[in-house]
Amino acid sequence: MVGHMDDNPQDQDYYLMWKTSRPIRRLIYPLEGLISDAAWGGVLLMICTVIALYLANSPWAHDYHEILNAPLDIGLGNSHLVLDVHHFINDALMAIFFFVVGLEIKRELLVGELSKVREATLPAVAALGGMIVPAIFFLALNWGGEGKHGWGIPMATDIAFSLGILSLLGKRVPLSAKVFLTAFAIVDDIGASMVIAFFYTESISWPMLGLAGIFFGLLALCNYTGVRRSAPYIFLSIFLWFCFLKSGVHPTIAGILAALTIPARPRLQSDEFLISTRMLLNRIEEKREEEENVLKNKEKHSLITDVELASRLTQTPIKRFENALHHWITFFIMPVFALANAGIAFDGDIASKLTHNVTIGVMLGLLLGKQVGVTLFCWIAVKLGWAQLPRSVSWGMLYGLTWLGGIGFTMSLFITNLAYGREAEFRDDAKLGILVASAIAGIGGCIVVSLFLPKNEVEESLDLDTDSDL
C-alpha cells in the first residue's frame, strides 16, 4: 500500500477496518482521540487540584501529609538515595516534565515558530513583557517584606492549561492564535527555567556541578558522534540529574540540559526511507503466495522486521522521546504534581489570606501584570516595526490570549515551593493566589477570546520550515 491513502477510498476503508477489526481495537480506537485531546489533560489536572484541596482540609489531612513526607529509599547496590515522596515528585518526576519542556523548546527553535527571527520576535517580546511586568507588580506590594522572594511566581504560564482552555472554543480559533500562545508559553518556560537556575539556588557545590558538566559533555558527544539509541541518553541523563541534585542547583534544570542534547536528525532520510521500504514491500509482495503465517516464513518475517527498523530509523530521537513521554506527562506526572502541591489548608480566616500582600501580589501579577506586560510589549514591537500580528489575530483576540497567559498553575506552584520552601504561611498564601488567579484568567480569557472569534470555522495553514534533515 505504497502511495497516498487519501487518493484511494478503498484504502481508506481498509485502513479503518484494520483500526477496528479486533475487539481490543474497537475498544481503544474511540478512546485514542479522547486521550490525545490536550483539554482532557487539563480536566484531570483540575480534578486532582480539587482532590488535593479536599484532602488538605478533611479529617484525612494528617494522613495526606504523612504520605507526602514518607521516605523513599532509591538504592543501587551499596549506593542509596533517600527522598521523601514530596521531594521525589518535585525533584525527580518534574525533571522528566522539564525534559519534555526542553524537547519542545529545541523543536520550536529548529523548525517551529521560534526558528525564524521574524516569526519569533512577537512571542519572545510578549514573554519578556509577561515576565517583567508581573514581577514588578508583585514587588510593588512586597518589596522590603519577608515575602519578597516570591517575585518569580507570577512570571510563569501553564502551557497545558492555557492551550486546553483555548481548545474548548473549537475550530473558530485561528491556528495562528494557538501557535502564538504556544510559542509565547515556551519562551516563558525558558525564562522561568533561567529564573529557577539563577535566583532560586541557595548554595552551589562546584565539584558536583563540574561532574554534571562532564556528563553533559558526554551527552553532547553522543549527539555529535551520531548515537541514536535511547539507552545511552537515558543512562547519562540519570547521572546528570543526580549531580544537579547534589550540586544545589535545582535538578529539574538537568532535564532541560539533557533535552538539548537529544538528536533532532534521523539516521535515515525521507528519500532513503522511501527507496528502502518500496524495495522491501515489493519483495513482500512477491512472497504473497508463500506461507501466510509470518512465523513460519522466516524470510517474510525478516523483511517485515526490516520495514519496522526503517520506520524507526526515519523518526528523529527528539520526536520519539516526545511521543513516548507525552501521555505520561499529561496523565500522570502533572496530575500527581497537582495532588502533592495544590493542597492548601484553610485553617484560618480565608478573607485574611486573600488580602495578604503575597496573595494579592501573585493575583495582580498573573492577572493584571500579564495583560499589561504582554499587550504593551507587543504593541511597542509592532509599532516599531520589529514584528507583526499573527495572521487572523486581531488586537482584541491577542488581549484575550494575554488573559490565558495569566494561568500560572504548574510552573507557578513549582516556583512557590522554591521561593517559600520553609515558610508554610507564605507558601499557602501564594498557592491560594495562584489558584484564584488561574481560575479567573481561564474564565476571563475564554470569554474575551470568544468575543473576537470569526463566526465560521477558520481554515488556515502556516508556512513552517520542517526540513527532515533536522
DSSP conformation letters of 178-194: HHHHHHHHHHHHHHHHH
Say whether 75 sits in a helix, a strand or coil: strand
Q: Are 146 and 361 in contact (CB under 8 A)?
A: no
φ and ψ at residue 79, rounded to 5 degrees: -95, 135
Q: Pick the residue with more confidence: 229 or 373?
A: 373
pLDDT band at 63 (very low <50, low <70, confident <90, very high): very high
> What is the tens place of the pLDDT at every residue in 184-209?
888 888 888 888 888 887 778 889 99
Query: What sign for the dihedral angle of Cα 48, 51, 57, 61?
Result: negative
Number of C-beta neighbours around residue 451 at 10 A: 10
> What is the tens place of the pLDDT at every residue in 13-52?
555 554 555 554 444 444 444 344 556 777 888 899 899 9
Q: Pick the residue with more confidence: 350 or 85?
A: 85
Q: Which residue segments constitute the domains of the chain, with CATH numbers given?
A: 33-200+250-265+316-451 (1.20.1530.10)
Taking each helix axis as running N to C, give the angle between helix 206-224 and helix 252-260, from 0 to 180 degrees, rounded to the nearest 10.
30
281 class by beta-carbon count within 10 Å (0-12 exposed, 13-18 middle, 19+ buried):
middle
pLDDT above 50 for 3: no
pLDDT above 90 for 178: no
pLDDT band at 82 (very low <50, low <70, confident <90, very high): confident
φ and ψ at residue 123, rounded to 5 degrees: -60, -35
Q: Cα separation of 102 and 219, whole Å?
A: 14
pLDDT band at 11 (very low <50, low <70, confident <90, very high): low
pTM of the predicted structure, to 2 decimals: 0.76
Burial 70-95 (b: 16+ CB within 10 A, else e): eeeeeeeeeeeeebebbbbbbbbbbb
Q: Cα separation of 403 and 405, whole Å?
A: 5
Number of C-beta neighbours around residue 227 at 10 A: 16
Q: What's the whole-number average pLDDT of the chain? A: 81
> What is the tens place of the pLDDT at every residue in 279-324?
767 776 666 665 555 555 666 667 667 666 666 667 788 988 988 8
Q: Are 172 and 456 in contact (CB under 8 A)?
A: yes
